[in-house]
Chain A
Amino acid sequence: MTAAPPLVAEVPVLAMRPARTGRWSRLPLKAKVGAVMLGIFVLAGIIGPLVAPYDPSFQATSFSQSMHAPEATHWLGTTQTGQDVLSQLLYGIRLTLELAILVGAMATALSVIVGVTAAFLGGLWDDFLSLTSNVFLVIPSLPLLILLLGYLPQQGQTPTIIVLAALGWPWGARVIRAQTLAIRNRDFVAASRETGERTWRIIAFEIVPNEVSLIAANFVNTVLYAIGASVALAFIGLADLNSWSLGTILYWAQSATALQLGAWWWFVPPGLAVALIGTALVLLNSGIDELGNPRLRDARGSQSARPADPTPVWQQAAAPRGPLTRLAGSFSRTALLNEQRGRP
């Protein structure tokens, strides 16, 4: 009797494991690399401020600590006022990721609401919502963000999040509207309507679960947009400059002319962090894309599954004629396959 509970607890774990690793190994390589890179940064954001060796806002009393190149005590060197760049970076990653994930969640929620509503209400509402999202797509968002935030007497994290989310939904809304229009005519939706399900139930349990991958891709894109926009805004000084985000570190580095003074250790790490987080998100997204569209997958992996080249005639035609044709021919699939097989 006493031994029973642990046994019961163990069974689902054993059953779950193979399924999980299976799903992971089926992911495209790009998605795996992106997920791992992103994971490292998220980890840095979570534990960063706890393990940061110094106070990022530390004010040195003497100039002896300012502008040190990377060394044993300061792994990424120090700023003009003797602050430790590594500590600033660790704090900055947290704030930037926090902002981006919040913006991503809020804007994606808006996209889903607007997109699904437009597709379901149809008629005049659809026209109005589609027009609104198209208008906001075509108006460049960064100058509008600058205008909105510039009029605030004080810049802070919350207004930035609200404004970024308020301007970040149109693209997602457009995509989700199109997908919803396609799904709502499927048989299973018609079936649940026939059984007398209410509209909200159809939306919440039939439509939205079928758009999860689309919504996930949209979330990743919005996070990417939020990081880019918030860093750019902070770089021109439209952020709370007393807080440490990747953008504000770059702002201070730029305003202290770190570049002209040759202090590369000051502005390279934060910029590189932005770029690597961005790369991770782009990789993750194109991985998600490949999951949905097998044609985009890496040709090397699916080589065996591909039928042999069906056009021997074409191969003859692709035989070199002149230098230009040869150049163009070298871009063809046949030429590539021949290359890989080794020339006869």
Chain B
Amino acid sequence: MSFILRRLAFYAVAAWVALTANFLIPRAMPGNAVQAIMAKFPNLQPAAYRAIEAMLGVGHPGSLWHQYVSYLGDVFRLNFGTDVLQYPAQVSTLLAETIPWTLILVGTATVMAFAIGTGLGIIAGWRHGGWLDRVLPGLMFFQAVPYFFLALILIEVLAVRANIFPIGQGYANGLVPGWDWSFISSAIFHSLLPAFTIVITSMAGWMLQMRNVMITTVGEDYVVAAQAKGLRPSRVVLTYAARNAILPQLQGFGLALGFVVSGAIIMEIVFSYPGIGLLLLNAVSAKDYPMMQAIFLVITFAVLISNLIVDFVIVAVDPRARTKEAV
């Protein structure tokens, strides 16, 4: 348990750093939401500055410490302020509409990519020099492709030309979101191509890492000993080699998560998927600062929580994490 406690303390520090950065960046950087609005409407009088500030609730009264305390209180109550782009909607309301889309799509696809990539990595590492090993350079290409670019190509080939998948959006036009079958099936159908894109691009990284660790593990004496004992190959691969090779892979999963999620969110833009990515794109182009800040916090916390889940898995799988002197 001390492992989980230590990790919790670490995530608390990371969350505090993210919250504080989110507090300090708007106060340290030159731009702000009011200036963005003033620039958009040149006929506004300078006197309107205070009025817009009050309207958005972005004025900074009181000392820095006072602001900091009330900021933390707001975040704790999930109050991220008023949205600039879709005024007067609350940022938290808009986020609540989009988060489920991203969570289901990116979450499922990332876990699938990890599972498939690790599985293929086990095979490639075990059959070192086999055909799977020989297609590795091709997979490296997929690893290096930006997610959104592969999405563009897949839409062009599979949606526009071949007409197999829908071009974009989260569900067919004319449907009302709800828990009926026609909507859910349409949503699943629309998520197939985006999910496929995430799986294809992020799978290669997991596979390469797993393969490399696997090759090293297969050379270990205990694996040779297991073979010499005459154990079934499936048993040697899975319970001797892969069982140990997966531990660094799990640690890497936690660290790479932020990278994968960021890429997937950019990719949503290409699909006009009604998730956080589209919200982010619009927020950036409209200089919608409250939204940008809220999205940063949401993604960061999602990644931190996923990391915590990965830690629980590590505790379950890795006996070293269960001993007292675990790091």
Q: Which residues of A contact B (CB under 8 A)?
A: 30, 33, 131, 134-144, 146-148, 150-153, 224, 228, 231-232, 235-238, 250, 254, 259-260, 262, 264, 267-268, 271, 274-279, 281-283, 286, 289, 293, 295-296, 298-300, 303, 310-311, 313-314, 316-318, 324-325, 328-329, 331-336
- B residues in contact with A152, CB < 8 Å: 29-31
Q: Is B74 an interface residue (CB 8 A)?
A: no
Q: Is the CB of B30 within 8 A of A153?
A: yes
Could you tell me how many residues of chain B have their Cβ less than 8 Å away from some Cβ of chain A?
A: 81
- A residues in contact with B236, CB < 8 Å: 332
Q: How many A-B residue pairs have CB under 8 A?
A: 219
Q: Is the CB of A328 within 8 A of B140?
A: no
A289 to B137, CA, bound (A): 14
Q: Is the CB of A271 within 8 A of B153?
A: yes
Q: Which of B17, B144, B255, B269 contacts A279 (CB 8 A)?
A: B144
A260 to B160, CA, bound (A): 8
Q: Which of B31, B258, B284 contacts A237 (CB 8 A)?
A: B284
Name the 10 nearest CB pairs between A and B, nearest first.
Answer: A278-B144, A299-B129, A140-B258, A142-B262, A328-B234, A151-B29, A271-B149, A332-B233, A275-B145, A143-B296
Question: B117 to nearest A CB, angstroms?
Answer: 15
- B residues in contact with A276, CB < 8 Å: 141, 144
Given contacts A142-B266, A143-B295, A329-B233, 9 further A-B pairs with CB under 8 A are A131-B10, A232-B262, A236-B280, A271-B152, A298-B129, A311-B228, A314-B228, A325-B234, A332-B237
Assuming A139-B18, A275-B146, is B237 touching A328 (CB within 8 A)?
yes
Q: Is B118 an interface residue (CB 8 A)?
A: no
Contact with A along B248-267 (1 / 0, CB 8 A): 00000011011101110110
Question: A72 to nearest B CB, angstroms?
Answer: 24
Looking at B62-70, B79-87, B177-185, B286-294, the stretch in contact with chain A turns out to be B286-294
Interface of B: prevailing SS: helix
Q: Which of A138, A267, A278, A295 contacts B219 (CB 8 A)?
A: A295
A271 to B270, CA, bound (A): 13
- A residues in contact with B167, CB < 8 Å: 260
Q: Is the CB of B127 within 8 A of A336?
A: yes
Q: Is the CB of B228 within 8 A of A328?
A: no
From A314, which residue of chain B is reached at the shortest CB distance? Answer: B227
- B residues in contact with A151, CB < 8 Å: 25-26, 29-32, 289
A289 to B300, CA, bound (A): 31
Q: Is B22 an interface residue (CB 8 A)?
A: yes
A116 to B7, CA, bound (A): 25
- A residues in contact with B25, CB < 8 Å: 147-148, 151
Q: Is B171 an interface residue (CB 8 A)?
A: no
Q: Which of B143, B261, B262 contacts A282 (CB 8 A)?
A: B143
Q: Is the CB of A318 within 8 A of B31?
A: no
Q: Is the CB of B152 within 8 A of A324?
A: no
From A151, which residue of chain B is reached at the shortest CB distance? Answer: B29
- B residues in contact with A293, CB < 8 Å: 212, 216
Q: Is B231 an interface residue (CB 8 A)?
A: yes
- B residues in contact with A332, CB < 8 Å: 126-127, 233, 236-237
Q: Which of A139, A259, A277, A333 contacts B160 (CB 8 A)?
A: A259
Q: Is B91 an interface residue (CB 8 A)?
A: no
Q: Is the CB of B230 within 8 A of A313?
A: yes
A151 to B160, CA, bound (A): 37
Q: Is B156 an interface residue (CB 8 A)?
A: yes
Q: Is B313 an interface residue (CB 8 A)?
A: no
**Interface-central residue, B148, B208, B289, B300, by most chain A CB under 10 Å:** B148
**Interface-central residue, B10, B21, B144, B230, by most chain A CB under 10 Å:** B144
From B21, which residue of chain A is reached at the shortest CB distance? Answer: A144
Assuming A232-B263, A282-B140, is B153 touching A268 (CB within 8 A)?
yes
